[in-house]
Structures are given as C-alpha cells and as structure tokens.
C-alpha cells in the first residue's frame, strides 16, 4: 500500500486528503482531527514514517526518517524512551495516545515512560497513583533498559489487611543480648509464639528480634533485663537501638503499622527485603507480602525496584514499597505485567 502524503507546514505535520485521514485516524486512532485536517504530533509522525505509512514532504523535498527523528528529539530528554514504548505498544496491537512527554493513555490505563537511568523516588511514584485527574485509571510503568528492551509494571496504592484476631495480652520478661532478646518462661513464651508467631523457639526458650521486643515493650507486654539482672526501661532500650541498630528504628513505624493491620510480620531478609507479612498464622498460609521500607525522597535505582519485583514474583508474593509520608504510612504495590 502506498504511503500517505503528509506535509510539514509551519512546524505542523498535516494530512489533508480524506482517504489518508481515514486510514491513519479512523482506523489507527493516530492524530487529532481539526477542520477536516489531521494533525500529527512529532512522535506519531516518526512512528508512521518508520513504518512507511506516510511520506513527509515540505515545499521543496521529502524529509527522511533521520531528519524527522532528530527534529522531534531536539530538546526533549525523554523522547527516545517514550518513542520506544509507543512503538512497542503499537506493534502489540494497542492504540496509545500521547498525553505529555512522559505519559501515554491506553484505554483505561496510563503508561508512565521511564528509562533505566532515570531517577525516581517513592514520593514521585505515589503522586503518579494519586493524581486526581487519573483516579479511575490503572497506572502502568513502561521501563526501557540500556539496550532498549522494555519491561512493564503495574503500580497502585495498597492497603494490606490481615486476619489476626487472637492478640497477645500476656506479660513476659526477657534478657537483652546484643542482637536479640531471650525469653525463658516456657508457658508464656509458647503462648506468645502461638498467638502471633513472635520470635523463634529453641529447646529451652524463645528468641525475639529486637524490633519485636521494641514493639512488645511499647505495648507494655515485655520487661527487659540485662544478663546481670538490671532492668532496661523503654527509653534505655531505645538509646541502645539508636546507638547499635538505628536501622531498626527507621523500619519500626512500618512494622507497627503492619501489626495494627492485623498481619503477622517477620523479617524478609531471606528474600532481600525488610519484612514479610502473613494475613493469617503461618500454619494456615504462606507470607503474602514482601515489604521494603524506603525514604520517600531518596532516589531509587530502577534495578532495586526490578530486583524486588522479580523476587516477589518468583516466590508468588506481592511486593510493596512502604514509607512514611507525614503522619501516614503509604504502601505502593508493584508487579510485572505483560500487555
């Protein structure tokens, strides 16, 4: 089929003949129809020129694909990224439209276009999900790696909720060591482990992680002593954490929030994340969530995001970024999709 003639007029790319308008706009949903003329955005024209569906001319000559590509990309940092994703979606049979230099519209989906080397933050990703203009739409991320391969992710806000109703109310005493707290009261420690899966039992006791111990102290359910017998109150325990384990205090607001959501919360170290969370006791279910705690304004490397999502997918769990934004805990759910 012969290419359709498009003309470059005053930096605008225009198709005038009805037959050409029908093929490009009515069939493929490309361009904007104004006064019986079809106006193409530069990115759309680059795609059509590469696919040899149009021939672009000005008053004197034919404009090549290379010339138009350079002109369209001039001054636009994200052009090649958005173009590669636009072309990929078109070749998959979709009909994306262009909203702005980063965003494509795809039926009820928005596709935010990023390159692997682009910097982002959790705060920016949250804003993608919260834009009031796009509340009813699904949010996708199209990510182009250094070699031009494209990966798609679904991103949304998530409210993880568990089913744990048998809350621990027993008061226990533990001995503080450098990296954990040890409980020796057999009757009480087994109730503690059975009710909410606290700690890890060994033959003669139960070892609590420091974050579990801090939470139980704040609930006034745990008294801590040193091996010498000297009591450690919560302020001294917090000073101990600030000095030796500050990362625990950084993660603690997320841990506490997950507990309030009736989830069982354990370390996610073996999965490369901070926490894993169960909606019910591990006797009845596997961990549904892997949660990674981040600073909302820290720049996140896309490889860090990819690793977390890949691991969660491999073990059939949901990957969440968690962070504190003012007084609210935000959970961002990310998963790989195949459009």
Q: Which residues make Cβ contacts (< 8 Å) with residue 153, sequence separation at least 6?
A: 140, 141, 143, 305, 309, 334, 335, 336, 337
DSSP state of 311: H
* Measured distance CA(91)–CA(83) in Å, rounded: 12
Tokens representing 193 are: 């482990």
Q: What is the b/e burial string over 186-224, where b = at least 16 CB atoms within 10 angstroms of the residue's CB?
A: eebbebbbebbbbbebeeebbbbbbbbbbbbbeeebbeb
Identify whether the C-beta of residue 226 lies closer than 8 Å to the C-beta of residue 232: yes
* Measured distance CA(224)–CA(214) in Å, rounded: 10
Identify whether the C-beta of residue 229 lies closer than 8 Å to the C-beta of residue 247: no
Identify whether the C-beta of residue 278 lies closer than 8 Å to the C-beta of residue 162: yes
* Measured distance CA(8)–CA(264) in Å, rounded: 63
Please name the helix (run of DSSP H) or strand (run of DSSP E) that holds residue 84, with its range, or none. Answer: helix 79-91
| 93 burial type by CB count under 10 A (0-12 exposed, 13-18 middle, 19+ buried) | exposed
Q: Which residues are catalytic?
A: 278, 286, 317
The DSSP bridge pattern shows strands 172-176 and 180-183 to be antiparallel
Strand boundaries in 122-249, DSSP class E = 138-144, 150-157, 172-176, 180-183, 200-202, 205-209, 222-225, 231-232
């Amino acid at each position: 089929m012969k290419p359709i003639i498009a003309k470059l007029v005053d930096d605008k790319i225009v198709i005038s003949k009805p037959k050409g308008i029908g093929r490009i706009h009515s069939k493929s949903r490309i361009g904007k129809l104004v006064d019986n003329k079809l106006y193409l955005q530069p990115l759309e024209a680059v795609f059509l020129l590469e696919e040899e569906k149009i021939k672009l001319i000005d008053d004197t000559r034919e404009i090549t694909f290379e010339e138009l590509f350079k002109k369209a990309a001039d001054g636009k940092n994200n052009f090649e990224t958005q173009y590669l994703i636009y072309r990929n979606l078109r070749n998959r049979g979709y009909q994306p439209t262009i909203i702005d230099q980063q965003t494509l519209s795809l039926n009820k989906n928005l596709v935010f276009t990023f390159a692997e080397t682009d910097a982002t933050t959790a705060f920016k990703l949250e804003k993608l999900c919260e834009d009031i203009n796009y509340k009813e739409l699904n949010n996708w991320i199209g990510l182009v790696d250094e070699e031009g391969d494209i990966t798609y992710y679904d991103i949304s806000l998530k409210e993880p909720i568990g089913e744990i109703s048998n809350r621990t109310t027993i008061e226990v005493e533990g001995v503080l060591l450098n990296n954990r707290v040890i409980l020796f009261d057999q009757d009480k420690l087994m109730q503690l482990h059975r009710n909410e899966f606290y700690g890890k039992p060994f033959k003669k006791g139960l070892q609590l992680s420091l974050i579990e111990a801090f939470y139980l102290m704040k609930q006034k359910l745990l008294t801590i002593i040193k091996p010498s017998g000297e009591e450690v109150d919560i302020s001294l325990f917090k000073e101990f954490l600030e000095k030796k384990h500050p990362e625990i205090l950084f993660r603690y607001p997320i841990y506490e929030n997950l507990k309030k959501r009736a989830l069982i919360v354990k370390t996610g170290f073996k999965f490369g994340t901070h926490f894993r969370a169960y909606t019910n006791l591990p006797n009845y279910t596997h961990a549904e969530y892997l949660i990674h705690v981040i600073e909302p304004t820290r720049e996140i490397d896309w490889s860090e995001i990819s690793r977390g999502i890949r691991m969660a997918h491999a073990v059939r769990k949901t990957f969440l970024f968690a962070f504190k934004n003012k007084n609210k805990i935000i959970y961002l759910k990310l998963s790989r999709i195949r459009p």
